[in-house]
Amino acid sequence: MTTTRISLLLATALLSACTTVGPDYRAPSSAELRVPDSYYGAAPAPTAAELATWWTQLGDPQLDSLVARAIDGNLDLAVAMTRLKQARESLVQSRAALLPTLQGSGGVRQDVRRGSSDDTSLSVGADAAWEIDLFGGISRSIEAARADADTSRFDLAAVRVAIISELVTNYVQAREAQQRLALAKDTLAIADDNLEIAGWRVQAGLVSSLDVEQARGARAQTAATIPTIESQYAAAAFRIGVLTGQAPGALRSELDAAKPVPDAPATIAVGIPADTLRQRPDVRSAERALAAQTARIGVAQAQLYPSLSLSGNIGSTALGVGGLVDQLAGSLFAGISQLIFDGGRTRSQVRSQRAAAEGALDTYKKTVLTGLEDVENGLVALDSAKRRRAEFAVALDAANNQAILARSEYRAGLTDFQTQLEAERALLSARDGQISSHADQTLAFVQLYQALGGGWDPLAPPQDSRP
């Protein structure tokens, strides 16, 4: 009994001296991360709803439906969700290390002696063990596991942001291909008319066969663009099917009905760089990874200090069930251990973990700067697309007038066929440029909202089956 009291007194004394080794984590400030106060050409801050459901600003119900199906059925999101569940269970396991473990046992023994009756005895027992977190190694492990779980949550959000952006991008590209395909077919019809007119004029002796050959070549070149555009449309439609967790061709019938490219809003709120750091899940994931690596310094450092464990057991043996409670015996043991020599391995692990934390800090800084760069590029791309679209509108008007005049003059015999062909090519280029610039403006809108981290709500927990 004296030994038990000494052990308890020793445990109490050591528990009163418990401390947590390793550095306490502090998130780097905006100044340390070199975050500017504003973006180049910054706009007002967007609302949380605008960021979380930014694609609804395009005003396309079919697109809204596709995004909802991608969120529900995308397999990359499903994989990221399983990783989050694993990280959460790792946190549960780390927390369990703070608590004692208890194991029970029981048995039946039968002794058979020659010439005498059999002796049967019953035994029951329980063993308990508890490692005291003297220097915070277990606490730091829990801290690291909690940061890892947060990292997985933000990684899931990053996948969601990327999937939504990719789906909207492919949807815009599919609609752009449909518009370009319609333009190519219209141009092919005009080329057929030109070839027919050139044939009549040759038969009438007004022009040479050169006009027919030029018209035939122009028609073939136009027809050759159609398969390429059809392939581009099919690739975008197939990708949308996979992004929604379905077979590539599952949505062809739904998407084949041609629709115009969605219009991006005229103005887009951006906010300040610090808002982006709070919204972008990849930035927040990198920050949590830094916190985890910092906590693991304490885990490694705790191995250099003494460790204390308590263990005990209780049991009973009797010839019958009723006698098990009559004879109970138990013991309690307190043990302390201290690393004396391991060739410098543990100290090397501490230094290695410090280097890992330094690397995580550099990765975090890089992720921050890359995120800010993405927003700046998105702003420039959007402004550039707007100006290009405005210029193509002027070019289309001029090219259309030029083509009408050239066609009329050729039919009247006032100009040659080459002049008409050049006018038709200019018109085709202007119409194609208008379609492309329209799509580019919408794609720049998508690029900017992806750079802002739009597509998730930082305050809403991810939906999963965990109780």
Q: How far apart are CA 75 and CA 62, in angstroms?
A: 21
**Cβ 399 vs Cβ 429: under 8 Å:** yes
Residues 6+ away with beta carbon under 8 Å from 334: 7, 8, 10, 11, 308, 309, 310
Note down the domain range covering 42: 18-98+136-304+351-451
Q: Is 71:161 a contact under the CB 8 Å cutoff?
A: no
Is residue 108 assigned to a domain? no
Instruction: Note the Cα 105 to chain centre separation in Å.
Output: 48
Residue 160 placed within a domain:
yes
Q: How many CB atoms lie within 10 A of CB 88?
A: 18
- Identify the CATH number of the domain in which residue 165 sits: 1.20.1600.10
Q: How far apart are CA 318 and CA 220, in angstroms?
A: 101
What tokens were used for 108? Answer: 């039946």
Domain assignment present for 117 = no
Burial class (CB in 10 A: 0-12, 13-18, 19+), 322: exposed
Element (H, E) at 120: strand 119-132
Residue 260 forms part of a structural domain: yes
Q: Spell out the residues 6+ positions from residue 467 whose beta carbon is closer than 8 angstroms to its own.
A: none
Residue 204 lies in a domain: yes
**Is residue 272, in this structure, part of any structural domain at all?**
yes
Q: Note whether residue 342 is domain-resident.
A: no
Q: Are 255 and 322 in contact (CB under 8 A)?
A: no
* Residue-by-residue pLDDT tens, the chain, 467 positions: 455 554 554 555 455 456 788 899 999 988 888 888 887 765 677 788 888 999 999 999 999 999 999 999 999 999 999 999 999 999 999 999 888 898 887 777 776 665 555 567 777 778 888 888 888 889 999 999 999 999 999 999 999 999 999 999 999 999 999 999 998 888 888 778 777 777 776 776 766 677 777 778 878 888 898 999 999 999 999 999 999 999 999 999 999 999 999 999 888 878 888 887 888 999 999 999 999 999 999 999 999 999 888 888 886 666 555 555 566 777 888 888 888 988 899 999 999 999 999 999 999 999 999 999 999 999 999 999 999 988 888 888 887 888 778 777 767 777 776 777 777 777 787 888 889 999 999 999 999 999 999 999 887 765 554 33
Q: Which two tokens stand for residue 397?
A: 């008007």
Is 231 domain-assigned?
Answer: yes
Domain count, the chain: 1
